Amino acid sequence: MTDFLQLTAAGLSQGSVYALLAVGLIATYTVRHVVNIAQGDYAMLAGLGSISLVSAGLPLPVAILIALISVTLASVLIERLVIARVKNLTTLVSIILTLGVSTLLQAIMLLVWGAEGRRLPAFPGEDLLIGGVSIRSQELWMLGALVVVGGGVLLFYEKTRWGKALRASAEQPVAARIVGISPAVASVIAFAIAGFVGAVAGVVSSPIYLSIWSGGLLLGLKGFVAAVLGGLVSFRAAIVGALLLGVLESYVAGYVASGWKDAVAFFILIIVLIIRPAGLVLRPNAVRV
Amino acid sequence: MHRAQRRLLIPAAVAASIALAFTGCSTSNFGGGDGGDGASEEGPIKIGAVLDITGVGANLGVPEQNTLNMLSEQLNEDGGINGREVELIIKDNQSTEDGAAKATTELIENEQVDLIIGASRTGPSLAMRPLVEAAQLPTISIAANAAIVDGSEWVFKTAQNDVVVLERILDDAESKGYTKVALARDATGFGEGIAEIITELGAERGITLTATEAFEPSATDFTAQMTNLRAADADFVIIWGITPSAGLAQAAYVQIGVGKPVYQSHGVANAAFFEAAGDAAEGVIAPMGRLLVADQLPADDPQKEVIDQFIADYTEAFGSAPSSFAGHAYDAWKIGVAAIEEAGTDPEDLRDAIEATSDFVGISGIFTMTPENHSGLTADALILAIAEGGRWNLYSE
Amino acid sequence: MTLLQKSPGAVRSKTGFWPNNRATIIGVSILTLVVLVLPFTATSTMMNIAVFSMIFALPAIGLSLLMGLAGQVSLGQAAFFAIGAYTHAILLQKFEMPGIVAAVGGVVAAMLAALLVGLPMLRLRGHYLALATLGLGFIVMIAVREWEFTGRTTGIYGFGRPEVFGIPINNNGLFFWYVAPFVIIGLVLALNLTRSRAGRALSSVNDSELAAESLGVNTYALRVKVFTLSAGFAGLGGVFYAYQVQIVSPQMAEFHVSVELLLMVVIGGLGSVWGAIAGAFIVELLSEGLRDLIPAIIPGATGEVQLIGYGLVLILVILLLPGGLYQAVRTVWAAIRRRTADRRAVAAARVPDGTADGGTGEAPTRAFGGLPGEEPPAPQSAAVDEEGVPNVPAVSTPLAVGEPILEVRGLTKRYGGVVAVDDVSFTVPAGRIMGLIGPNGAGKTTCFNMITGAITPTSGTVAFLGEEVQGRKPHVGAVRGLTRTFQNLQAFTSTDVVGNVYMGRYRKGRAGIIRGMLGLQGREQYRNEEIARDILDTMRLGDVADLAAGDLPFGRQRMMEVCRALASEPALLLLDEPMAGLSGKERDMLATLLRALRDAGLTIVLVEHDVAQVMALADTVAVLDDGVLIAHGDPESVRNDPAVIVAYLGTDAEEAKHELEELEEHA
């Protein structure tokens, strides 16, 4: 039982990283219908960047703040320089294009930071041992980041006028314009959000899961699997799906074989796509704005 | 008609120019099959190396690369082998098996080398074995698993056998009265067969294996494996891998609060282990060669002189102390070069000369090869080291 | 799919086993020559690059077919590459089978795997398929890594190299010659396929899936076949890779291999088979070159530094040269041809005896046409100035006049709470024209789409020739003779006018993918092209037959679509607002044509906004209002039906009367 709870706890913290990435993916997909393969690379970029800043002597919070802002700007830059340049950007083209972006980001990280994985110092806090279940304080930071940042994005998109207009801009550019958002601005905002959320995921997870140049792809893809569970539109379903995915992976690693862990997400992806492409949401129409 | 002729000319011209674009001076593209013995009596002696310079084995391959470069420069400054220059050709296998196979094929067919050193890890070494055997080319691996040399006519190795390493671990555990062991091992070739060896060796010492977990060398999250190790309720734990993964596993093990003593393998015999494991490294015991504890060796240790010299040379050249893996490369190079000095580059003569290596004092131990024993080290080659304060210290049992 | 470079397509060429496209012959000759010469001249590094380009060209050709023809992107091509290699290695190593059996086994295993996953996955929309195949790549990689039988992380090794007539293929030169013939044959087969009936059908699907399906193209089945074929190419590449490297290991299925393959296709030009080979060579060259170049520029750079080039090239090609090398070469080639054409024109002017009369039999076919600067002469002004239609294309008449050919029962469509079509029932008798009218938003087009299979009804049945076709794909009805046109034009813009009408013949053709690849369908293709041209001549579109379909004016495109529908020799023709956008003369001509077709035995249902036209043309008229069928009968009774007058013409009785009078006048 202790082991079961231990695996569940580990799965939830891993799942919170997937959830943040899923939130970023949905943020861009709803606005721009872009599947951003580079989403996970934002996380690695932020992690590695803040590690460098910390080792340059900056205090941890300052380093993290600078890294978050830089990655957010990088995401906007990518939108302006690459995504916005393509007319009639279909989702399929966006996948190939962002695959190129992702590859480029990885190569840059490899050249700048080298091939070794590095970790950020753990955030302040005491590790807990509850009934034999060890919970690292960093894992609480990760879940906290999901609640605050993921929840914030969710509320922004679902409750605010701007957020709603943003979501509408994909389907109804006119409606969005009425609120004063041009499709170009909407796209920039969406990428800024995606960059920020990805960066948050990267810095909170770095002390445990490390930041490494090649780590973003798989992470982003798992975020995507979670996003698909939400039909690529529902933040709530995607967050729940991401946490479930993390827990399921943890069980597979613990009870089946650790080597199969990374396959779990893709089995889920294929099964969900075939059985229920609209995601796990009960009424797919209801979540569309 | 004119037009038709011109039409024929165009493709011909294009073809000719494309062909010209590829043109080089070499016509060796058909010449690989007969090995490197015939034409190589003159010109430089070619030694190829296949190393994990990038990828998960980079902690091993980079110091190995440094060592070989340093030694080949030294050798050529001293006039080469019997007056012939030595050309060292290092290929990166990117820590992959097929990378190793590609590199080996290139070394054999294109470079026509006289001797191959490598690979850094067991998996790529195993992938190379059938290729060098088919080409009948003497090869000295610097990886650990005994399967690399078992029954091979052409492949040797310089890293200590996993069996002797495990013997040292289990002997120590037995002396402390432990009876149950749990294992977390590298999922690649380096870790294969380890559970079986522990079961076999443990039976003689009253130690039973209660759980086996595996991890990828590229893994960063070890919670599941360590949770299972905890559940195994053993007296002690063996983590069998290379850095950084073995170090990260160590950190996860401590974080999850198991609290049982840990033995690691000679795969962590470098400073990188401490970077990956951090404070969690404290108290870990691992069998390894004498290199990392050279400063603590008694003055009469037969290896001390060789080791001190190597450390001095390496530190001067690269600004940091060498790892045990650098030592494996040193031994492979020295044994290979000595054999070429002795027997020349004819593959069979060279192989026989390597098999005749006797009481060679190297970094990892004192080697005595035979046609049956292509590993050449005994349990004496190993000491037990304990991690203390961010370095390895000699552990007195 | 806007992503994809349009496949080439003239029907003109009679395809034999050896491709008769001149460019192909020249290209294949050059390639063969290079292949023969290369091992004697290339440096060993270059030879190594050449060998791996040849090996990777095979999966790249497969991927290019998938992307160009099926309009699908696979990010898991490496999975099939690995499956082919592993099966091959296992058969060689563990079952000690002869090389040829093991190789065939490898290819078959890759194709079977593709069939298995393709059947469910190809129902997904494009980007989902791309991501699902990406997932497949990871699953295959992990499966072979974790499975004892496949040698876990180390893989399978220790099988030798092949022997041909007792000669061991044990060096790069021989190996190059060993692979190259397979690449060349694969190339020819793939090129044939793009020009075949199936290839043209898939190319049409990329222009308009709905229109292609309405002509009987079973998109899904063709996509599954191309996906399977594509995996076969990948499997063959894997077999050669295993032979060359002499080990198969999980890294083969890794994502970056799939990305490299994708990069090859994108660089070469999406959907261009030649491009795939060029792309394979460029990527291998790039990879080798960057691995040397980047550490020279940036000291201390190690690892997969070539990725920086991959990323940059991928982005730049998509942003700046979406058609890849293929597009670039065609643009340059067109410029050269234009220049030589100019020079020749000057020469011709100087030499009046006409020996320099270029272009004899060399008029650029659309197969290599459509180049910027190679625009054919502008169409002559519309030639619809004669009354009447002299000949009527063939139609099929499976039933006697008056027997029910289409029976609609209780047809209903709900969207959420909105009922678009509510319990509509009617019968269409064979050999008659039925008009379906109603105000905007009455549900006419929805009704229409349910009959043709474009939309699945919520309830109710549609029986065509006694068989229920509701809820099935449009091609199901289409192959039985139910064809339609569209309110919004759905021309196949990647081909010319005759190519469009030729597609109408799809249901009359038989040749499948294999015949297409072997080029054994020339006769069928040629005959159908003749028929298509005859129809165009009959319909007075013969003069524009070789123009790009998208270049026609609106009215003539509409007529072209009618020709395309007629080319399938339908039993039931559904026309969705055929009169919209036509000039008065064109309308009259179309009306005459429709009457003539009816007299020839064709059943016609038309949805039309122009009530007067329908009343004049139709034998029976059905009126929909707010999704409900409010009247059905001969034009006279419908015209006098008070419900129709009020519902259709307006709620205001006075206004209705006025409108009615106007209507009477027209009639």
Joined together, the tokens standing for residue B213 give 């977990």
Q: Are B365 and B259 in contact (CB under 8 A)?
A: no
The pLDDT assigned to A8 comes to 94
- Rounded Cα distance, C207 and C203, in Å: 7
The pLDDT assigned to C4 comes to 38
Please tell me whether the peptide bond between B379 and the residue prior to it is cis, using omega within 30 degrees of 0.
no
The pLDDT assigned to B69 comes to 95
Q: Is B96 on the interface with C (CB under 8 A)?
A: yes
CB atoms within 10 A of CB B82: 10
Q: Are the beta carbons of B248 and A210 separated by less than 8 Å?
A: yes
- Rounded Cα distance, B61 and B94, in Å: 9
DSSP, res B107: I
CB atoms within 10 A of CB B320: 11
Q: Are C381 and C404 in contact (CB under 8 A)?
A: no
Q: Are the beta carbons of C157 and B24 separated by less than 8 Å?
A: no
Taking only residues 157 to 196 of chain A, the set having a beta carbon closer than 8 angstroms to any beta carbon of chain C reads none
Question: Could you give the 3-state DSSP secondary structure of residue C604?
Answer: strand
Q: Are B224 and A250 in contact (CB under 8 A)?
A: yes
> What is the longest distance spanned by two Cα atoms in chain B?
97
Question: What's the mean pLDDT in C408-430?
Answer: 88
What is the nearest CA distance from B377 to chain A, expressed in angstroms? 32
- Rounded Cα distance, C470 and C475, in Å: 12
The beta-carbon neighbor of A224 closest among C117, C131, C304 is C131
Q: Is A93 on the interface with C (CB under 8 A)?
A: yes
The enclosing H or E element of C434 equals strand C433-437
- Rounded Cα distance, C458 and B251, in Å: 60
- Rounded Cα distance, B125 and B97, in Å: 8
Min mean pLDDT across A166-175, B253-262, B339-348, C333-342 is at A166-175
The pLDDT assigned to C128 comes to 83
Question: Could you give the 3-state DSSP secondary structure of residue B88?
Answer: strand
The residue among B220, B253, B273, B279 with the most chain A CBs within 10 A of its CB, best to mutate, is B220
The pLDDT assigned to B272 comes to 87
- Rounded Cα distance, C583 and B317, in Å: 88
Q: pLDDT, tens digit, for every residue of B18-44?
A: 555 555 444 567 764 444 444 456 788
- Of the two residues B180 and B218, the one the predictor is more confident about is B180
Q: Are C102 and A254 in contact (CB under 8 A)?
A: no
ipTM: 0.91
Taking only residues 288 to 317 of chain C, the set having a beta carbon closer than 8 angstroms to any beta carbon of chain B reads 302-304
The pLDDT assigned to B314 comes to 95
Gyration radius from chain C CA atoms: 29
Taking only residues 41 to 70 of chain B, the set having a beta carbon closer than 8 angstroms to any beta carbon of chain C reads 53-55, 58
Joined together, the tokens standing for residue A125 give 């806090």
The pLDDT assigned to C114 comes to 95
DSSP, res A211: B
Q: Are the beta carbons of B97 and C155 separated by less than 8 Å?
A: yes
CA A219 to each of CA A44, A202, A246, C449: distance values in angstroms, whole numbers, following the listed order: 9, 10, 11, 43
Joined together, the tokens standing for residue A30 give 């709803």
Q: ∠ CA C373-C377-C382 to the nearest 5 degrees?
A: 140
SS3 content of chain B, % helix, strand, coil (to 5): 50, 15, 35
Q: Are C371 and C25 in contact (CB under 8 A)?
A: no
Joined together, the tokens standing for residue A131 give 């009934």
Q: Are the beta carbons of C304 and B54 separated by less than 8 Å?
A: yes
Q: For all residues of chain B together, what is the average pLDDT?
A: 88
- Rounded Cα distance, C273 and C281, in Å: 13
Task: Say whether pLDDT at C358 is over 60.
Answer: no
Q: Kindly give the pairing relationship between strand C418-429 and strand C404-415.
A: antiparallel
Residue with tokens 């678009």: C420
Query: How distant is the alpha carbon of residue B108 from its chain centre?
Result: 20
Q: Which mean pLDDT values do the consecutive 10-residue runs of chain A (289 residues) have? A: 89 96 94 92 97 95 96 96 87 90 94 86 88 88 96 91 80 68 87 97 93 92 92 90 95 91 91 75 41
- Rounded Cα distance, A71 and A74, in Å: 5
The enclosing H or E element of B5 equals helix B2-22
Q: Are the beta carbons of B97 and C160 separated by less than 8 Å?
A: no
Question: What's the mean pLDDT in B95-122?
Answer: 90
Q: Are the beta carbons of C30 and B18 separated by less than 8 Å?
A: yes
What is the nearest CA distance from C91 to chain B, expressed in angstroms? 17
CB atoms within 10 A of CB C555: 18
Q: Is A255 on the interface with C (CB under 8 A)?
A: no
What is the nearest CA distance from C211 to chain A, expressed in angstroms? 21
How would residue C339 be classed by pLDDT, with cut points 50, 70 and 90? confident
Min mean pLDDT across B1-5, C188-192, C504-508, C562-566 is at B1-5
Q: pLDDT, tens digit, for every residue of C269-292?
A: 877 889 999 999 999 999 888 888
Gyration radius from chain A CA atoms: 18
Q: Is B343 on the interface with C (CB under 8 A)?
A: no
Extract the runs of DSSP E, i.e. beta strands, from chain B: 45-51, 86-92, 115-118, 139-141, 155-157, 180-186, 208-215, 236-240, 262-264, 285-288, 360-361, 366-367, 383-388, 391-394
Of A5, A2, A1, nearest to A247 by C-alpha is: A5
Joined together, the tokens standing for residue C200 give 């043209």
Question: What's the mean pLDDT in C178-200?
Answer: 90
Q: Are B56 and B220 in contact (CB under 8 A)?
A: no
Q: Are the beta carbons of A111 and C301 separated by less than 8 Å?
A: yes
The pLDDT assigned to C551 comes to 85
Q: Are C307 and C263 in contact (CB under 8 A)?
A: no
Min mean pLDDT across C32-46, C92-106, C130-144, C391-405 is at C391-405
Q: Are B290 and B297 in contact (CB under 8 A)?
A: yes
Q: Is B99 on the interface with C (CB under 8 A)?
A: yes
Q: Are the beta carbons of A258 and B55 separated by less than 8 Å?
A: no
- Rounded Cα distance, B19 and B12, in Å: 10
The torsion angles phi and psi of C11, rounded to 5 degrees, stand at: -85, -15
The pLDDT assigned to B249 comes to 93
Q: Is residue B319 packed enough to be buried (19+ CB in 10 Å), middle (13-18) or exposed (0-12)?
A: exposed
- Rounded Cα distance, C435 and C575, in Å: 10
Q: Is residue C549 packed enough to be buried (19+ CB in 10 Å), middle (13-18) or exposed (0-12)?
A: buried
The beta-carbon neighbor of C305 closest among A82, A107, A263 is A107
CA C602 to each of CA C405, C599, C623: distance values in angstroms, whole numbers, following the listed order: 11, 7, 22
The torsion angles phi and psi of A25, rounded to 5 degrees, stand at: -65, -45
Percentage, residues of chain C above pLDDT 90:
27
Query: How distant is the alpha carbon of residue C647 from its chain centre?
Result: 43
The pLDDT assigned to B341 comes to 92
Question: Could you give the 3-state DSSP secondary structure of residue C626?
Answer: coil
Q: Are the beta carbons of B32 and C152 separated by less than 8 Å?
A: no
- Rounded Cα distance, B255 and B267, in Å: 22
Query: How distant is the alpha carbon of residue C322 from its chain centre?
Result: 18
Of A263, A186, A209, nearest to A32 by C-alpha is: A186
Q: Is B221 on the interface with A (CB under 8 A)?
A: yes
Beta bridge partners of B186: B215
User: Which residues are within 8 A (CB) of A154 and not within 5 positions of it... i.e. 6 or more apart?
Assistant: A23, A235, A236, A239
Q: Are C615 and C623 in contact (CB under 8 A)?
A: no
- The identity of residue C412, as a single letter, is T
Of B112, B130, B121, nearest to B35 by C-alpha is: B112
How would residue B275 be classed by pLDDT, with cut points 50, 70 and 90? confident
Enumerate the residues of chain B whose CB falls inside 8 A of the CB of residue A129: 257
Task: Say whether pLDDT at C375 is over 50.
Answer: no
Task: Say whether pLDDT at C450 is over 50.
Answer: yes
Task: Say whether pLDDT at C376 is over 50.
Answer: no
The torsion angles phi and psi of B152, rounded to 5 degrees, stand at: -90, 145
Residue with tokens 């209801």: A286
Strand order in the sheet with B236-240: B208-215, B180-186, B236-240, B262-264, B285-288, B383-388, B391-394
The pLDDT assigned to C349 comes to 65
User: Which residues are within 8 A (CB) of B236 and not within 5 positions of it... i.e. 6 or more apart?
Assistant: B173, B176, B178, B180, B181, B182, B260, B261, B262, B263
For CA atoms C658, C660, C663, C664, give the dihedral sign. Answer: negative
The pLDDT assigned to C8 comes to 41
Partners of chain B (3+ Cβ pairs below 8 A): A, C
- Rounded Cα distance, A99 and C4, in Å: 17
Q: Are C249 and B97 in contact (CB under 8 A)?
A: yes
The pLDDT assigned to A176 comes to 65
- Rounded Cα distance, B234 and B209, in Å: 8
The pLDDT assigned to C19 comes to 43
Q: Are B92 and B49 in contact (CB under 8 A)?
A: no
Q: Are B259 and B280 in contact (CB under 8 A)?
A: no
Residue with tokens 């899923």: A22
- Rounded Cα distance, C42 and C285, in Å: 13
Residue with tokens 């006289």: B114
Q: Is C158 on the interface with B (CB under 8 A)?
A: yes
